[in-house]
Structure 1
Amino acid sequence: MADTALHPGDYGAPPIGRVRWTICLMLFLATSINYVDRQVIAILKPTLEQSIGLTEVQYGYIVDAFQIAYGIGLLAAGRLMDRIGTRIGYMLVMAFWSLSAMGHALASTAFEFGIARFCLGLGESGNFPAALKTVAEWFPQSERSLATGIFNSGANVGAVLAPLIVPWITLRYGWHAAFLATGVFSAIWIVWWYARFRQPKEHPKLGDAELQHIYKDAAVEMGPQVPWGRLWGQRQTWAFGLAKFFTDPIWYFYLFWLPSYFSAKFHLNLSHIGLPLIIIYNVSAVGSIAGGWLPAPFRKLGFTQQRARLSAMLVCAILVVPIFIASSVNSVWIAIALISVAAGAHQGWSANLFTTPSDMFPRSAVGSVVGIGNMIGSIGSAIFAFYAGHVLQLTHSYASLFTIAASAYLVGLMILYFLSSGLRSAEIAA
């Protein structure tokens, strides 16, 4: 009977409130800034090839520097969020990554870009552990995949803003200025977060009904503090991490090599590269939100929460498969359509995959599990970036890269399902 008071559609029930969705908006904007900073170098790659003689192999090494640092940072970032909390922790990591992004303007060689990229990877590693821990703190389990899908769609908005902003700044003020421009957005967000973010119990604008709604699963989810080393022995940790290992590299391939792909195959220059990327990442934003929503209709069919999540991920994995022909098509619009669907499906997959740690672990361990899993994903991304740089330098063909992308999600889903026994909760002794 008590639960009926939490639903605004019931007779006489008070409205739940929407403060938690304002928090989700803040996460969305932080992720947008994160991806603008991350994608600047990808858009400028053809420009840097001309201005500093950057090669495919060198570019692969620069991407590797980011991925290696990202993986190292994730080991600490998740634990940092669990230890000091997201209010201070999120501000610290954003300040560090923003300064690192602006530091690219000082680079003039591939080695110097590698150093700047390494620092950027260390800073940006904190975004997703912080955001996912915030979702676990501010949303009940039933809303988390949608909240994750919404904030994760910020990655696509950032990827859309970058091709709008970076070419315009570069053509007028030079590529150095393009790396400096995003620092303003970071400074505004940091002030806003510090002023407005609190834990649910401490938030001055959060009503009792919404607080009860947020914490309705808390009794079974909070759990004890879990030693970090113990998480490495859990099958569920490795299930999440290996699913990231196989699928994270594909997203980074899109992010860091699509401008080069369109330039090499369809001869699109800096003035024309924006439209394909804008279309792809707008579709990706829709895919992120739709993927987060997708478990809901499966739940209405009577599926359990775990089975609904896995079914949504299967749909997304199947939608990626046609991308294997992207290297052989001769129409830029067919290529855009194939990559748009695949990128949107990736984001739908990601919205659900990011939610699985909070499905399988107590809230006190979510940040650490996300950090471990993302670190494993970064290892896969570094290996793939090394491979991509060398194969493109030798063959100038994207065929094997798109073939790997087409199959990675089905492989990742099988590993996730069997290792986690269908997303079963981890059994962690106190």
Structure 2
Amino acid sequence: MFHKVRWQLVALLFIAGIINYLDRAALSVAAPLITQELGLDPAQLGVVFSSFFFGYALFCFVGGYAADRYGPRLVIIVAMTLWSVFCGLTATATSVAALVVLRVIFGMGEGPFNTTMAKFIGNWFPKSEQASAIGIANSGTPLGGAIAGPIVGFIALSYGWRISFIAIAAIGLLWVLFWALSSTDNPAQHGRVSEDERAEIRRGQATETAQAELPLMHYLRQPAILATALAFFGYAYILYFFLSWFPSYLTMALHLSIQKMAIVSVIPWALGFVGLASGGFVCDALGRRLGDQVAARKLVMVVCLLVAAVAVALAGIATSLEAVIALIAIAVFFMYLSGSTYWAIILGLVESGRVGGVAGFVHLIANTAGIVAPIVTGVLVEKTGSFASAFVLAGGLATVGALLVALLVRGPSSRSAAFAQASRH
């Protein structure tokens, strides 16, 4: 499989995903040390966590729109350079205000990555492989979350938390060099792609022009797109609840030391890596069996998101460390098993010339959860003295999203009807 250029580029995106979450999770892992040095309370820490998403959510859409206009290769280069630089500059923060400003700009850099990656995979892969490619590319993110605890924890305890941000920023800038030398926007531009591989990709893609035929707003008003966005919000709420607060939850509620927290935090993210890496292959295999890729992606999303919702709600009321870790691991695994489906549904329902804009809109809606979840969690913990209500809220929101997808997402026939309707006007 990896002798083909398109899968080699996915491997590079996989590594980028590792760096993405290593950079992003670094603040959560170092939070106990930063809190101590800067004197932050839980509500202030929640604001710092959320500040990242003010930049991130908006630039999910900006990045997707730019990828449609300027091509995904360039957008990824600019995005990763920006986020790596501002990850490193986090080491200069000496106040809450400085942390907030740096995290907003850092988020602006990371925002375009996932949306633009989906656009890139839509250009490079036949329809029958797209969910698998998205799953592999995205599966680097939970692996980055898994290794962030040991790596950032070790560097922060050995050399100080500021050095940890500088070290991982350097890794990101090195990746940009490899990507700039190795990638192109589509297979036709790449000198190492064989004619056989180009023909294989062309045969497996829809026979449509890359020029958009329907306006962007047509897609943004569709119930299936809105339902997918709200389900993605439920997914993201669970994800960002754990990504921002899980290390602090282990130290504050379960009274683990930073050393033990760094080890225990690996478990859910390791399982999440397995779930995200395999979810796309499950979707594509089920799609071949059902003869309907969109229906397969919908089924995987709904079932997995519901299981994750139940597990995370139960984790909030569990009393033993073993039960909490087991339930969180189940929640993260099934949440990530659905991770490729949101992007894959968009690729199945949207014409190629609008994929970036629509995916960016959906990702923007999803990532408002990154603004809401850390702040709401911080307030709930401060007001109640417990994480229980925060866990239950996360499970409830994911349940609502899954049910909306079950009711409103239909197959590609709706897209064909839209094209027919547009041609009559």
Range class of TM-score, shorter chain? over 0.9
Equivalent-residue separation in structure 2 for 1:312 and 1:424 (angstroms): 20
Bigger mean CA deviation after superposition, 210-219 or 28-37: 210-219
Whether the 8 Å contact between 2:253 and 2:386 is mirrored in structure 1 is no
**Structure 1 residue 374, shift from structure 2 partner:** 1.0
Match of residue 77 from structure 1: 63
Cα deviation, 1:159-209, whole Å, max 9, x if unaligned, reads 122112111111121111111111221122111111111220121221222
Alignment CA distance shift 1:219-1:292 (3 Å): closer
Counterpart AA for 2:363: N
Match of 1:388 in 2: 377
Alpha-carbon distance between aligned partners in 2 of 1:221 and 1:261, rounded to the nearest angstrom: 49
Q: Distance in 1 between matches of 2:94 and 2:144?
A: 25
What is residue 18 of structure 1 aligned with on the other side? 4
Find runs of 4+ consecutive structure 1 residues off by over 4 angstroms. Answer: 422-425
8 Å CA contact 1:17–1:207 kept in 2: the answer is no
Q: Distance in 2 between matches of 1:151 and 1:344?
A: 16
Report the TM-score when normalising by structure 1: 0.91
What per-residue deviation string (whole Å, max 9, x for no partner) do you get for residues 103-128 of structure 1? Answer: 11111111211111101111100110
Q: CA deviation at 1:63?
A: 2.2
For residues 261-299 of structure 1, give each alpha carbon's deviation from its aligned partner in whole angstroms, at most 9, with x where no partner exists: 111122112212122111111100001122212224534
**Equivalent position amino acid for 2:346 in 1:** P
> 2:251 and 2:396 mapped to 1: Cα distance?
25
Tell whether 2:314 aligns with 1:328. Answer: no
CA drift of 1:149 comes to 0.9
Q: Could you tell me how far 1:16 is from its partner in structure 2?
A: 10
Note closer, same or farther for the CA distance 1:373–1:403 as it changes in structure 2 (3 Å cut): same
Quick one: which amino acid aligns to residue 201 of structure 2?
Answer: I
Question: In terms of mean alpha carbon deviation, does 414-423 or 319-328 score higher?
Answer: 414-423
Q: Which residue of 2 aligns with 1:268?
A: 256
Instruction: Describe the shift of the 1:246–1:329 C-alpha distance in structure 2 as closer, same or farther (beyond 3 A).
Output: closer
C-alpha separation in 1, matches of 2:318 and 2:396: 19
- 8 Å CA contact retained: 1:417, 1:423: no
For structure 1, the 5+ residue unaligned runs are: 1-14
Any gaps of 5 or more consecutive residues in structure 2? none
**Backbone CA RMSD of aligned residues:** 2.0
Structure richer in helix, relative to its length: 2
Query: Is the Cα contact below 8 Å between 2:302 and 2:403 reproduced in 1?
Result: no
Q: Is the 8 A contact 1:359 1:425 kept in 2?
A: no
For the structure 1 residues 424 and 381, does the alpha-carbon distance in structure 2 shift closer, same or farther, using more than 3 Å as the test?
Answer: farther
Using the alignment, how far apart are the partners of 2:391 and 2:202 within structure 1? 43
Alpha-carbon deviation of 1:229? 4.1
| Residue in structure 1 matching 2:179, options 188, 193, 202 | 193
| Counterpart check, 1:89 vs 2:78 | no
TM-score, normalization by structure 2: 0.92
Q: Does 1:304 align with 2:292?
A: yes
Aligned to 1:403: 392
Contact 1:17 1:206 in 2 (8 A): no
Alignment length, in residue pairs? 416
Q: Deviations over 1:286-341 (max 9, x none)?
A: 01122212224534543522221122123312321123221333332322221111
Deviation at 1:424, TM superposition (A): 5.0
1:364 aligns with 2:353: yes
| C-alpha distance in structure 2 between counterparts of 1:420 and 1:302, whole Å | 16
Cα displacement (A) at 1:416: 2.4
Shift in Å at residue 32 of structure 1?
A: 1.0
- Would the aligned equivalents of 1:136 and 1:363 in 2 still touch at CA under 8 Å? yes
Q: Which residue of 2 aligns with 1:155?
A: 141
Q: CA deviation at 1:227?
A: 3.9
